[in-house]
Amino acid sequence: MPKLTAAEYLAKAIATSGKTQKEVATIAGFDKPNVVSMMKKGITKIPIDRVPALAKACGTDPKVMLRIVMQEYHPTVWEILNDTLGEQIMLSEEERMLVARHRAKASASKVV
C-alpha cells in the first residue's frame, strides 16, 4: 500500500468526516476555507501547529496526521525524534490498544 502524502491524507480525512471543507476549516480555526483547499491540493503545507485541530475537526487521529506531516515535511527531524523518544510516543490510540492487548496476553501466558 503506497503512503499517502500529507495533502492526500487531509483530503481523505475531510471527505470521510461527513463535514464540509468550510466546516472543517472553521472548527480547525482557519478564517478562510480556501486555505484548507490549498493544503488539500498540496499547494500549501499543513502547519504543524494546526495538525491537532485539523485532525479533531476531521475526526481522525492527530498522531497519525502528525506522523505523516512530519515524515513528509521534516524527515530528518522526524527521524531524530523517533530515534530519541521511541516510536511508541507516536502510536495511534488503536496501535496503543493492540500493544496493551499483546502485553496482557504475553503476561497471562507467563503465569503458570
pLDDT at 104: 85
- The phi, psi pair for 10, rounded to 5°, reads -65, -45
The gap between the terminal CA atoms of the chain, to the nearest Å, is 41
Which portions of the chain are predicted below pLDDT 50?
none
Q: Give the model's pLDDT for residue 58.
A: 97
The residues, any chain, with a CB within 8 Å of residue 9's CB and separated by 6 or more, are 64, 65, 68
d(C-alpha 72, C-alpha 19), whole Å: 26
pTM exceeds 0.75, yes or no: yes
Topology annotation, domain 6-85: 434 Repressor (Amino-terminal Domain) (1.10.260)
User: Under the phi-then-psi rule, with left for phi > 0, alpha for psi from -120 to 50, and beta for the rest, what region is 23?
Assistant: alpha
What are the sequence ranges of the domains in the chain?
6-85
For residue 111, what pLDDT is reported?
Answer: 60
